[in-house]
Amino acid sequence: MASCVSGCSPVVRFCQKLNRLKTLEEDVMATSLKRCLSTVDLALLGVGGMVGSGLYVLTGTVAKDTAGPAVVVSFIIAGVASLMAALCYAEFGARVPKTGSAYMFTYVSVGEIWAFLIGWNVILEYMIGGAAVARAWSGYLDSIFNHRIQNFTESHVMRWNVPFIAHYPDLLAAAILLVASFFISFGVRVSSWLNHIFSAISMAVIVFILVFGFVLADPVNWSTQEGGFAPFGLSGILAGTATCFYAFVGFDVIAASSEEASNPQRAVPAATAISLGLAATAYVLVSTVLTLMVPWHTLDPNSALSDAFFRRGYSWAGFIVAVGSICAMNTVLLSNLFSLPRIVYAMAEDGLFFSVFSRVNPVTKVPVIAILVFGSLMAILALIFDLEALVQFLSIGTLLAYTFVAASIIVLRFQPDKSSGSSGGGGIKTDASFTPSMNQSGQQVDPSAVTNETQTFAQDSGELKEYESFSDKLQLVERQKSVKERRAPGTLKACWEPYLGQILGHCEPGEVVAFSVLALMVSGLSLCAVLVFGNNQLNLPVWSFTLLLVIFSLVFLLSLALIWVHEQQPNHKTFQVPLVPFVPGFSILLNVFLMLKLSPITWIRFAIWVAAGLLVYFGYGIWHSKEGLREQQGQEVAARYVVLPSGSLVETVQNVQPEGHTLSTHSPTHDNPPASR
């Protein structure tokens, strides 16, 4: 048995390396970047990331091909679904105000390898998203000039006839990306003001569309003679919801910018709520106006809004809409170019990506090298690939990031308190200078009260103070009893102790929650797989399809219930997601469902990109990880005071060993014996 354990120890240590957590410094506000963004700045960044080409293109496409006028309902449902993911980002952005967004959130709660893969895929999503918007921007401008730019390029520059790439190099799209990268490299204030300008123009155009559009609205276009409000039924509304969900992708730019926010604890949640509310309102009202102006089945999917005004005889209004759409695309472009280098910077700063990208310009306080390099890569993608090929690969990485952020919220909320130097490899450091003690029932005493009432160190003599009288002791005991005790995070709630104590009471704090989160992910994936593939690809009989749905649904709900019956960490001063674990749990379910709806070719490309990421991680990241280097450093000694169950006070010294070593607790020295009772 001993030989088996010793033989497995290298594997265990290797798995611990892959799952080590990031240790945040005591001052989470410390940064080499410039904290200058206000709530308004962050909110406009979020609006710019969400209200872009989707408002001018997606509304017409979904209305004509998928949902009809009921696209309004699709946007409402999609906005509520996006809110669940946005709340998770808001809590993390306020609690961990560091750049990196989903990468950073996964690193501090789930583990290093998962954080790297999330960051690696988010990098690709931002690159493809920026290139796709640049292509759409170029195509929209080209259509205004009757495709003269495309004709000139094909005639005088080059035309390709190669599969999987564009028919001609889009020099205009590449140029706009290079110019935008150049401006963003001047600093966060320049980026913010550019975004303010384009967002103001875009919102003014949206207001114009709503006011003038409602004047031209005709309720007949929602009547039965035009097909009715929901011509495709409930299935069309739900299919439209899946597409409209991607219109709200972009709010994570707020969390990615939290390290440059002046007051992230308040600004990040407020900006997330404001931007998501404005975006959802804009999508719902614009889709309402669009389907009331002209019959839904006559819409032009490529330029629905401007075409609607042209058809009603107001060509000048169509030109204003075209200008607004270009400005809106510029805000999305700036959002992608703003977020991408900061994800790269966060990974490089942690040692998981090449260190050259962690360099910050001393004047502009931005990672200039990361901005210029990845802006150029984005321009190359826009130059070579057409819009359709880029859009096919857009969503999978974002949905994966949403899934892990939601899971990270559950893990972080229920994980037991850790001292900053534990061998677990990190976690979020707390402000307390000692580890709270727990009694035999797993209850945890309020640290502030214990510190004030039980510390017995003497002053300069180095000796422990004896209690002067029995009344002093009695007063101390009474004060300790008056302290409201609470159970440690990750332990079973007291009200459930009589029912589940014999089954779950012997488990370590957080152990049941960790297994439940794993069961939640597996059962959610299985449930969505049955829903997506059960009837069509698998051709399951009705009885087996129903049975599998019932089984996986019960496991999913049981996992949520098991998490819920455990204690959460106490409320912090920062924003917290309500109804945990239910809101993150259903967010996970929705994200997995949408991921499985993507095409097989998308999954193949995703697998190739993940394989390339694993080569980078195991070839560079795992060897240069700052968490790994920290583990290899010498021992750190941390003193803490613990109230034992017997009531006596002792001083313990905890040696923080590198991974693979045990933690030893030494008794006080003979010169300082524990105080007698």
Of the two residues 160 and 669, the one the predictor is more confident about is 160
Has residue 482 been placed in a domain? Answer: no
Specify the pLDDT at position 663: 40
Q: Give the mean pLDDT of 396-417.
A: 87
Structural domain that includes position 167: 10-415+574-623
**Residue 435 pLDDT exceeds 50:** no
Note the pTM of the prediction, 2 decimals. 0.78
Has residue 665 been placed in a domain? Answer: no
Specify the pLDDT at position 251: 86
Specify the pLDDT at position 247: 84
- Compute CA 296 distance to the chain's CA centroid, rounded to the nearest angstrom: 35
Give residue 391's pLDDT band: very low, low, confident or very high (50, 70, 90).
low
Residue 292, number of CB atoms within 10 A of its CB: 20
**Residue 375 pLDDT exceeds 80:** yes
Specify the pLDDT at position 6: 53
Has residue 548 been placed in a domain? Answer: no
**Residue 612 pLDDT exceeds 90:** yes
**Residue 394 pLDDT exceeds 80:** no
Specify the pLDDT at position 553: 96
Q: Give the mean pLDDT of 576-588.
A: 92
Specify the pLDDT at position 643: 44
**Residue 450 pLDDT exceeds 60:** no
Please state, for a pLDDT cut of 90, what percent of the chain lies above it. Answer: 31
Specify the pLDDT at position 470: 47
The domain that holds 215 is classified in CATH as 1.20.1740.10
Q: Residues near 12 by Cβ (< 8 Å), separated by ≥ 6?
A: 660
How distant, in Å, are the alpha carbons of 8, 12, 415, 659, 668 from that of 662?
16, 14, 21, 8, 19
Q: What is the CA radius of gyration of the chain?
A: 28
Specify the pLDDT at position 88: 92
Are the beta carbons of 168 and 153 closer than 8 angstroms? yes
Specify the pLDDT at position 212: 92
What is the DSSP secondary-structure string of 191-207? HHHHHHHHHHHHHHHHH
Has residue 64 been placed in a domain? Answer: yes
Are the beta carbons of 341 and 371 closer than 8 angstroms? yes
Average pLDDT over all residues of the chain: 80
In tens, the pLDDT along 295-349 reads 998 888 777 888 888 888 888 888 888 888 888 888 989 888 988 999 999 999 9
Specify the pLDDT at position 323: 86
Specify the pLDDT at position 370: 94
Has residue 136 been placed in a domain? Answer: yes
Has residue 389 been placed in a domain? Answer: yes
Are the beta carbons of 89 and 255 closer than 8 angstroms? yes
Q: Give the mean pLDDT of 380-401.
A: 78
Has residue 233 been placed in a domain? Answer: yes
Domain count, the chain: 1
Has residue 485 been placed in a domain? Answer: no
